[in-house]
Amino acid sequence: MKNEMIVSVGPVENRLAVLEDNQLVELLVHIRDRKEILGNIYKGIVKDNVPGMGATFIDIGLERTALLHFRDAIPDILDLEELEDENLMKEIKNDIYKMGELLEVGQEVMVQVEKAPLGKKGARLTGQISIPGRYMVYMPYKNYMAVSRKITSIKERRRLKNIFYKIKDGNVGIVIRTNAELHNEAEFRKEYSSLKKIWQDIQDKYKDYSAPVCIYDENDLTSIIIRELINRNLDLIIIDSKIVRAKIIKRLKRIAPEMIKKIKLFREEAGIFDSFGIEKEISKIMRSRIYLDSGGFIVIQQTEALVSIDVNTGSFVGDKNLEQTVTITNIDAAKVIARQIRLQDLTGMIFIDFIDMQSIENRQKVIKTFREEMSKDHSPNKIFSTSPLNMIEMTRKRARSNLLSSFFESCPYCQGVGRVFARSSIIDSIFRWFNRAEKYHPEDELEIHINKWIYDYIVDNQTSLRTDYQFSWKFVLDNELDYDQFKIHSKKSKRDITDLYYT
What are the DSSP calls for 42-93, one per residue? Answer: EEEEEEEEEGGGTEEEEE-SSSSPEEEEGGGGTTTTS-GGG---HHHHHHHH
User: Would you say residue 6 has pLDDT above 90?
Assistant: yes
What pLDDT was estimated at residue 52?
Answer: 72
Number of H helices, E strands in the chain: 12, 25
Dist CA 491 CA 340 (whole Å) = 58
Overall average pLDDT of the 457-475 stretch: 76
Dist CA 71 CA 403 (whole Å) = 30
- Helix-strand-coil split of the chain, %, nearest 5: 35, 25, 35
Residue 18's region, left for phi above 0, alpha for psi from -120 to 50, else beta, is: beta
Per-residue b or e along 379-415, where b marks 16 or more CB atoms closer than 10 Å to that residue's CB: bebebeebeeeebbbbebebbbbbbebbeeeeeeeee
User: Would you say residue 264 has pLDDT above 90?
Assistant: yes
What pLDDT was estimated at residue 320?
Answer: 67
- Other beta carbons less than 10 A from residue 360's beta carbon: 9
- Percentage of the chain beyond pLDDT 70 is 86
Angle at Cα 245 formed by Cα 243 and Cα 249, nearest 5°?
120
Q: pLDDT tens digit string along 209-249?
A: 998 999 988 777 888 888 788 777 789 999 999 999 999 99
Better-scored residue on pLDDT, 351 or 63: 351
The least confident of 119-128, 263-272, 364-373 is 119-128
Overall average pLDDT of the 154-164 stretch: 92
What pLDDT was estimated at residue 416?
Answer: 62
- Amino acid identity of residue 107, one-letter, is Q
- Other beta carbons less than 10 A from residue 274's beta carbon: 12
- Cα–Cα nearest to 129, from 82, 180, 73: 73
What pLDDT was estimated at residue 492?
Answer: 86
Q: pLDDT tens digit string along 289-347?
A: 888 888 888 998 887 778 999 998 776 565 667 888 888 889 999 999 999 898 888 88
- Amino acid identity of residue 139, one-letter, is M
Which strands sit side by side in the sheet containing 445-450, from one edge to the other?
472-477, 445-450, 486-490, 495-496
CA atoms 256, 261, 266, 267: torsion sign: positive
The least confident of 9-18, 99-108, 118-127, 480-489 is 99-108
- Other beta carbons less than 10 A from residue 179's beta carbon: 18
User: Would you say residue 192 has pLDDT above 60?
Assistant: yes
Better-scored residue on pLDDT, 283 or 107: 107
User: Would you say residue 68 has pLDDT above 80?
Assistant: yes
User: Would you say residue 469 has pLDDT above 50?
Assistant: yes
Dist CA 134 CA 418 (whole Å) = 44
What pLDDT was estimated at residue 82?
Answer: 44
- Cα–Cα nearest to 175, from 190, 155, 195: 195
- Give 279's contacts (C-beta < 8 A, 6+ positions apart): 271, 273
Q: How confident is the model at residue 81 (pLDDT cuts 50, 70, 90)?
A: very low
What pLDDT was estimated at residue 80?
Answer: 46
What are the DSSP calls for 357-396, one per residue? Answer: -S-HHHHHHHHHHHHHHHTT-SS-EEEEEEPTTS-EEEEE
* pTM of the predicted structure, to 2 decimals: 0.66
The whole-chain average pLDDT of the chain stands at: 83
User: Would you say residue 251 has pLDDT above 70?
Assistant: yes
User: Would you say residue 35 has pLDDT above 60?
Assistant: yes
Cβ atoms of 31 and 46 within 8 Å: the answer is no
Overall average pLDDT of the 459-466 stretch: 67
Angle at Cα 493 formed by Cα 487 and Cα 499, nearest 5°?
35
Kind plus residue range of the DSSP H or E element containing 96: none
- Percentage of the chain beyond pLDDT 90 is 23
Dist CA 344 CA 26 (whole Å) = 7
Interstrand relation of 306-312 and 348-353 (parallel, antiparallel or unpaired): parallel
- Give 139's contacts (C-beta < 8 A, 6+ positions apart): 128, 129, 130, 131, 172, 173, 174, 175
Cβ atoms of 447 and 474 within 8 Å: the answer is yes
